[in-house]
């Protein structure tokens, strides 16, 4: 089973080399009960640690079932300890925060047993060692003899070939010590039991062999009574993922250590609270992640608010009805893009009276008090709302009900103008003294303009197929419908540079380029209405809300944010461009302060977590000894920390939900912001976990066991 050939072990401490074992050659078989004796410091515990894979050796070779182990890495030794070795220590090395039942269950969990099986087996084993009446007691409440019997029960749960016991009766009275040896003798019939003991008199009635060490060397190896050798058991691995095992142990720790768990929960909750608070402060000074508007908006007036959905989806009739019901909203404009079209009057018949340049307005904004003529009723009719000199008022009626040429221009996303010339029948003039000039149209004309001027600046990927190759051309252009084109016809100067026989495709559609009209603007592409509707679907991604008054903006913006919309007031945005250099510097300082505060929160949280988790290092070491891998320990720590942050996050959301008035800084939070802050907290949890693992990664199992003990 196990054979040692000239094995030596040395310890190095601050330049001093001390001997642990020297040229030890021994062989052990399953079925033996071996008592290892010797004076203090003779190498007894070192021999057990080397045999069990807790500690390394420098010289010689150890064979396990005939296989050399000098090439074993950490993972090999973990596999060996998990499947071949069970441990019993003088200081018990129990997880004292667990119940008696959980201490045995966790050993069965390392083997991959499901909950029902491990609970039944654990109860059976505990009955066997006389602890059946203590299942729900915490291990810390047991007597010394009961603790050692629990350690034996845990060793039996591993169902391994080897049990190593290091001074198992060192802390027990004579009666308890005899009970322990009797139990070990009972299980030795089908296992190899190696017992280090300072009391050979207790062991001689049970041992089949005695090995005595002196100064690291074997000075006696004597058989006391015969034994029947057994073959190593066949290993049948159970199918349970390592992540599932780790998650189960993490839950044991969370619910089995209430004081530490409550403290960790409070630390996590405090961290979550400050992250929410800091992010809310960032939003309040103009930060956040609420972008997504079409910023080609140039029709700026105090009552205008732009609105988009937080999920960036097109706005629907349901959104329209919802937005109309918001207090202090005067009007919801679906055809938002139309408001940014500039109307310029170019007609010599009127220019000496009116120099008109303005944006679209709405009929219900005006009464008949200052109206000359009438309001527009049919498509193609227009009313101009503008300043008129008093001396010219009587001359305007002669110019009504006539067609005039207007130039319509709209700023594109890259700063260029999109323009179109149209004729409108002037049916009325509204004379007023306001600075803004407005072109008032009926609803049908407004919809027609939106259809034509809807946002059309697109990256249009055209596949170009020629005899010798196929390429993709990323055509970035403004698209306009042309009634003279039909089907999938398209007119752009780009296509004139390709030879005949070239095929142009957009998605699955074959395009039909038509000759380029040099009179058209080179940066624009003209397509048929059919193709235009495919490239730019008729939808509303942005609305304009017109407020009853400018002072309602903040209240409405906050309300929109809470109800699932991003909103933006262009007038306030432009006004903020005039902030002083001192205000800009102050905002920068506040932003840097928020980032610094977040770093301080992370460091403080980490230090508190580390202090608490350092008190649990002994538990993690015990878990490694009973069969869990180092990777499992990392997963367990991760699961524990994530559990505390997750429940703290949920707890804070509940507190916020029932007490929103106390968190005014978070009034503008939307679903996306809550998710983003959750992501920040998740990142903090991962960083804390990683830092703690790095803090302990260089510590070997032997070193951890010594520190823990």
Q: Give the pLDDT confidence of 361-387 residue by residue, as tens digits.
A: 887 777 777 888 999 989 999 999 988
Query: Which of 397, 333, 398 shows the shortest CA–CA distance to 364?
Result: 333
- Measured between its terminal Cα atoms, the distance across the chain in Å is 30
Q: How remote is the C-alpha of 454 from its chain's centroid?
A: 37
Q: Which helix (H) or strand (E) holds 65?
A: none
Residue 111 contacts residue 93 (beta carbons within 8 Å): no
Q: Which helix (H) or strand (E) holds 58?
A: none
Residue 191 contacts residue 156 (beta carbons within 8 Å): no
Q: pLDDT tens for residues 545-592? A: 998 877 788 889 889 988 999 888 877 765 444 445 665 676 678 778
**Does residue 394 or residue 262 have the better pLDDT?**
262
Domains of the chain by residue range: 2-238, 243-285+598-708, 337-453, 457-535
Q: pLDDT tens for residues 618-673? A: 888 888 888 888 888 889 999 999 999 999 999 998 888 787 667 766 655 666 77
Distance CA 652, CA 655 (A): 5
Here the tokens at position 209 are: 């062999």
Angle at 239 between CA 233 and CA 242, to 5 degrees: 105
pLDDT value of position 287: 40
Q: pLDDT tens for residues 229-238? A: 887 777 676 7
- By residue count, the chain amounts to 709
Q: pLDDT tens for residues 680-709? A: 888 888 888 888 887 666 555 555 555 443
Residue 400 contacts residue 428 (beta carbons within 8 Å): yes
- 40 falls in which pLDDT band (50, 70, 90)? confident
Looking at the DSSP assignment, which residues form a beta bridge with residue 305?
545
Rg (CA), the chain: 41
pLDDT value of position 120: 94
**CATH fold for the domain made of 2-238:** Rossmann fold (3.40.50)
Distance CA 50, CA 4 (A): 10
Distance CA 623, CA 210 (A): 30
Looking at the chain, the whole-number percentage of residues with pLDDT higher than 70 is 88
Residue 307 contacts residue 329 (beta carbons within 8 Å): no
| Residue 503 pLDDT > 80 | yes
For residues 209, 214, 219, 224, the Cα torsion angle rounded to the nearest 10 degrees is -20
pLDDT value of position 293: 39
Q: Residue 663 to residues 288, 384, 594, 655, 676: CA-CA distances in angstroms?
A: 17, 48, 17, 10, 18
Helix (H, G, I), strand (E, B) or coil at 297: coil
Distance CA 612, CA 257 (A): 11
Q: Residue 279 to residues 274, 584, 683, 689: CA-CA distances in angstroms?
A: 8, 19, 15, 23
Range scoring the smallest mean pLDDT among 29-38, 103-112, 530-539, 644-653: 530-539
Mean pLDDT, all residues of the chain: 83
Q: DSSP E strands: which ranges in 113-254? A: 162-166, 192-196, 209-214, 217-223
Residue 418 contacts residue 365 (beta carbons within 8 Å): no
- 101 falls in which pLDDT band (50, 70, 90)? very high
pLDDT value of position 297: 44
């Amino acid at each position: 089973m196990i054979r040692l050939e000239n094995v030596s072990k040395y310890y190095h401490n601050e330049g001093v080399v001390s001997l642990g074992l020297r040229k030890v050659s021994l062989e052990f078989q399953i079925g033996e009960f071996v008592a290892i004796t010797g004076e203090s410091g003779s190498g007894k515990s070192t021999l057990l640690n080397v045999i069990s894979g807790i500690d390394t050796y420098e010289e010689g070779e150890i064979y396990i079932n005939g296989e050399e182990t000098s090439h074993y890495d950490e993972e090999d030794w973990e596999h060996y300890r998990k499947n071949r070795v069970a441990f019993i220590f003088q200081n018990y090395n129990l997880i004292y925060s667990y119940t008696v039942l959980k201490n045995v269950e966790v050993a069965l969990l390392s083997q991959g047993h499901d909950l029902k099986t491990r609970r039944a087996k654990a109860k059976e084993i505990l009955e066997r060692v006389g602890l059946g009446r203590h299942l729900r007691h915490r291990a810390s409440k047991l007597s010394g003899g009961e603790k050692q019997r629990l350690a034996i029960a845990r060793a039996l749960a591993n169902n391994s070939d080897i049990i190593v016991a290091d001074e198992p009766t060192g802390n027990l009275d004579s009666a308890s010590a005899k009970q322990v040896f009797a139990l070990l003798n009972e299980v030795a019939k089908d296992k190899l039991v190696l017992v280090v003991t300072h009391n050979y008199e207790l062991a001689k009635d049970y041992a089949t062999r005695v090995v005595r060490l002196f100064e690291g060397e074997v000075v006696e190896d004597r058989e006391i009574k015969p034994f029947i050798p057994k073959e190593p058991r066949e290993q049948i691995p159970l199918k349970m993922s390592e992540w599932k095992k780790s998650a189960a142990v993490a839950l044991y720790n969370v619910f089995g250590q209430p004081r530490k768990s409550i403290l960790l929960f409070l630390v996590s909750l405090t961290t979550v609270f400050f992250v929410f608070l800091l992010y809310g402060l960032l939003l309040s000074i103009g930060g956040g992640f609420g972008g997504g508007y079409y910023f080609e908006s140039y029709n700026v007036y105090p009552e205008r608010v732009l609105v988009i959905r937080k999920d960036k989806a097109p706005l629907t009739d349901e959104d329209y009805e919802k937005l109309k019901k918001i207090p202090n909203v005067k009007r919801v404009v679906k055809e938002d893009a139309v408001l940014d079209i500039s109307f310029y009057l170019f007609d010599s018949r009127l220019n000496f009276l009116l120099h008109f340049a303005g944006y679209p307005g709405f009929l219900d904004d005006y009464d008949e008090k200052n109206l000359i003529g009438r309001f527009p009723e049919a498509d193609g009719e227009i009313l101009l709302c503008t300043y008129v000199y008093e001396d010219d008022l009587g001359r305007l009626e002669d110019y009504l009900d006539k067609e005039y040429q207007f130039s319509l221009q709209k700023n594109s996303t890259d700063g260029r103008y999109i323009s179109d010339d149209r004729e409108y029948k002037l049916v009325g003039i509204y004379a007023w003294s306001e600075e803004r000039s407005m072109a008032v149209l009926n609803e049908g004309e407004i919809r027609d303009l939106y259809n034509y001027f809807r946002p059309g600046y697109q990256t249009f990927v055209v596949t170009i197929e020629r005899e010798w190759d196929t390429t993709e051309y990323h055509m970035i252009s403004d698209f306009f419908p042309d009634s003279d084109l039909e089907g999938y016809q398209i007119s752009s100067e780009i296509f004139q540079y390709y030879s005949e026989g070239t095929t142009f495709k957009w998605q699955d559609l074959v395009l039909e380029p038509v000759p380029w009209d040099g009179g058209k603007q080179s940066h624009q592409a003209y397509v048929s209405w059919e193709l235009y509707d495919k490239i730019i679907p008729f939808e509303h991604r942005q609305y304009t809300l017109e407020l009853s008054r400018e002072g309602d903006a903040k209240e409405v913006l906050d309300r929109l944010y809470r109800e699932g919309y991003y909103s933006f007031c262009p007038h306030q945005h432009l006004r903020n461009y005039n902030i002083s250099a001192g205000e800009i510097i102050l905002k920068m300082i506040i932003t840097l302060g928020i980032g610094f505060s977040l770093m301080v929160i992370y460091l403080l949280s980490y230090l508190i977590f580390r202090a608490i988790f350092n008190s649990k290092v002994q538990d993690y070491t015990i878990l490694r000894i009973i069969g869990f891998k180092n990777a499992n320990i990392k997963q367990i720590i991760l699961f524990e920390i994530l559990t505390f942050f997750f429940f703290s996050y949920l707890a804070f959301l509940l507190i916020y939900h029932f007490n929103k008035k106390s968190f005014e800084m978070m009034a503008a939070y939307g679903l996306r912001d809550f998710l983003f802050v959750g992501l920040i907290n998740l990142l903090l949890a991962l960083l804390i976990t990683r830092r703690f693992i790095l803090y302990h990664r260089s510590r070997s199992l032997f070193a951890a066991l010594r520190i823990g003990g």
